[in-house]
Amino acid sequence: MSGEFDYIVVGAGSGGCPVANRLSADPSNRVLLLEAGPKDRNIWIHIPIGYYRNMISPLSWGYKTEPEEGVAGRSILWPRGKVLGGSSAINGLVYIRGQKEDYDHWRQLGNKGWNFEEVLPYFCKSENQERGLDEFHGTGGPLQVSDIRDEREICSAFIEAAVETGIPRNDDFNGANQEGVGNFQTTSIEGRRCSSAVGYLKPIRHRRNLSIETDAMVMRLEFYGKRVTGVIYSQHGQIKTVKVNSEVILAGGAVNSPQLLQLSGVGPAEHLSSLGINVVHDSPGVGADLQDHYQARLVMELNKRISVNDDVNNLVRRAWTGLQYALFRRGPMTFSAGHVGIFTKVLPSSATPDAQVHFIPFSATKIGGDLHPFSGVTVSVCQLRPESRGEIMIKSNDPFKHPKITPNYLSTDYDRRIMIEGLKMLRHVTKSPAFDRYVTREYEPGAECVTDEALLQYAREKGNTIFHPTSTCRMGNDPRAVVDARLRVYGVEGVRVADCSVMPSVVSGNTNAPAIMIGEKCAAMILEDAG
């Protein structure tokens, strides 16, 4: 494709799809949406449990972090969606917004328009909430938000165990208060995934003023002076150029958006010059301030055949699992990456929950690996507001080369303490009578892992990302900020960013819902600024 557009959106993920939808609602706006990956035709995208196989597949960018001392010298796999729908097409479907205090903090940092009261309308606008309309939720929006379709005996037992330890029940983590234990809601409808592409693009794909191009890898932005003039991308081996009259909106996520800015000459000048890139604007914060939630898990072996492991490892039960889904859209194939959740405080100094728990009724050798041959479940904990900061930097001027990803996991005492106390909290819950009666043994890390030092070493050796990178094009008004409060990139004209990379600090929970909110709010600001 060549030609001219009013708006070009780069990345058809959680942020980009809402932007493309809302801008193209005005038939006078010519909008181009570019996605590096293919169309979302893979059947396992739409079956919720398919996240387990698609995280490690050609539908992911296949990023890996640099080996780091903080995680025992390991390089950690970073799945990020490379398909229509982006990471919302391969993620674990959990719908969490974060805490009110997260957004109020953004406003306290000087980001006008981003406190909780000001972002809540965009969360509500995006939602079609199964439970109906109330002060915290919306109906009629593109994003389907639903309750868990199937209760499992072991999941109910885990909830009861948490209550026994003093954690209150909470039926809505996205309501007035986040703290407590309960079932997650998911971005799904009647047993099928609702990605941003399904919700925001599928109903409007025939708009004549909206062009959607897949397998379109954006290589760089073109500038005339400081003004963006177009986009160069590769599609099926051909290099194409498209012109833009108004704005380019980057929505590639915490990895691709800073990478593309750097490739286009916006970033740390010295580093870009060393790679032979012409510097358009010296912006030292591009790629800096990387934040991510880091998790460690317990794996419990059960004394009763009630986990998904048993459904998969038995031929008859496996057949019934498939039949359940085919006939009723129910059963294990509708499961998300978190059935039960806990938000709680593990440090006395915390005013609000500082740790999140995901409980899933199966266990595996590793992320995306084979299920264990025994009846097993997994319960993991991550720190909600990590202090560790990393960076993402290009290693070459070749847009097809992956950037250097350095999260600096567990580099602060606070992050290490959350991990230690979080694992202790998990043990406290799993040893409570309502759950302990189902347990044969703690398979990982095992009963011999007792001391703080041993727990921390286990977290270093076996912990992992929970897939929530943010803040690499951080919003703010300080010298290292990349975008202003209206998501405009400092130092250039006509470029905005609409994804998790703009977060001043990572939200206290899963990041898909906030990314969609950011896309909604970005589109509203663009339309407002255009008059």
Containing structural domain, residue 53? 3-530
Q: What is the mean pLDDT of residues 169-198?
A: 97
Phi, psi (deg, nearest 5) at residue 470? -150, 175
Q: What is the pLDDT of residues 469-481, one digit of tens each?
A: 999 999 999 999 9
Compute the distance between CA of residue 194 and CA of residue 130 in angstroms, rounded to an integer.
Answer: 13
Structure tokens at 126: 């995006």
Instruction: Assign 319 a pLDDT band (cuts: 50, 70, 90).
Output: confident
What's the maximum distance between 2 C-alpha atoms anywhere in the chain? 69
What pLDDT score does 1 carry?
56
Q: What is the mean pLDDT of residues 93-97?
A: 97
Res. 331: pLDDT tops 90: no
Look at residue 501 and give its three-state secondary structure.
helix
Instruction: Assign 2 a pLDDT band (cuts: 50, 70, 90).
Output: low
What pLDDT score does 44 carry?
95
**Which distant-in-sequence residues (6+ apart) come within 8 Å of 47 by Cβ?**
192, 193, 325, 333
> How many of the other CB atoms lie within 10 Å of CB of 461?
13
Q: 150 vs 301, which has greater pLDDT? A: 301
Which is nearest to 279 in space by CA: 293, 269, 294?
Answer: 269
Compute the distance between CA of residue 31 and CA of residue 35 in angstroms, rounded to an integer.
Answer: 13
Compute the distance between CA of residue 297 and CA of residue 376 in angstroms, rounded to an integer.
Answer: 13
Q: How many domains does the chain have?
A: 1
Q: What is the pLDDT of residues 477-523, one digit of tens each?
A: 999 999 999 999 999 999 999 999 999 999 999 999 999 999 999 99
Res. 144: pLDDT tops 60: yes
Q: What is the mean pLDDT of residues 66-86?
A: 97
Rounded to 10 degrees, the C-alpha dihedral 137/143/149/151 comes to: -60
Structure tokens at 178: 């986040």
> Which residue has 């806990």 as its token pair?
342
> Which residues form the catalytic set?
468
Q: What is the pLDDT of residues 199-243, one digit of tens each?
A: 999 999 999 999 999 999 999 999 999 999 999 999 999 999 999
> How many of the other CB atoms lie within 10 Å of CB of 395?
10
What pLDDT score does 61 carry?
97
Cα 168 to Cα 177, 179, 344, distances in angstroms = 11, 8, 9
Compute the distance between CA of residue 445 and CA of residue 423 in angstroms, rounded to an integer.
Answer: 10
Whether 20 and 11 have beta carbons less than 8 Å apart is answered as no
**Which distant-in-sequence residues (6+ apart) come within 8 Å of 64 by Cβ?**
75, 76, 77, 78, 402, 405
Res. 360: pLDDT tops 90: yes
Q: Is the peptide bond before 445 cis (omega within 30 degrees of 0)?
A: yes
> Which residue has 């819950």 as its token pair?
429
Compute the distance between CA of residue 434 and CA of residue 156 in angstroms, rounded to an integer.
Answer: 9
Cα 452 to Cα 71, 266, 281, 347, 483, distances in angstroms = 16, 44, 47, 14, 40
> Which residue has 């202003």 as its token pair?
484
Mark out the alpha helices in 165-201 (DSSP H runs). Answer: 196
Q: For residue 500, list its beta bridge partners.
A: none
CATH number, domain of 17, equals: 3.50.50.60
Structure tokens at 93: 């479907």
pTM for the full predicted model: 0.97
Q: What is the mean pLDDT of residues 173-199?
A: 97
Q: What is the mean pLDDT of residues 271-295?
A: 98
Q: What is the mean pLDDT of residues 384-399?
A: 98
**Which distant-in-sequence residues (6+ apart) come within 8 Å of 524 by Cβ?**
22, 122
DSSP, res 290 = B
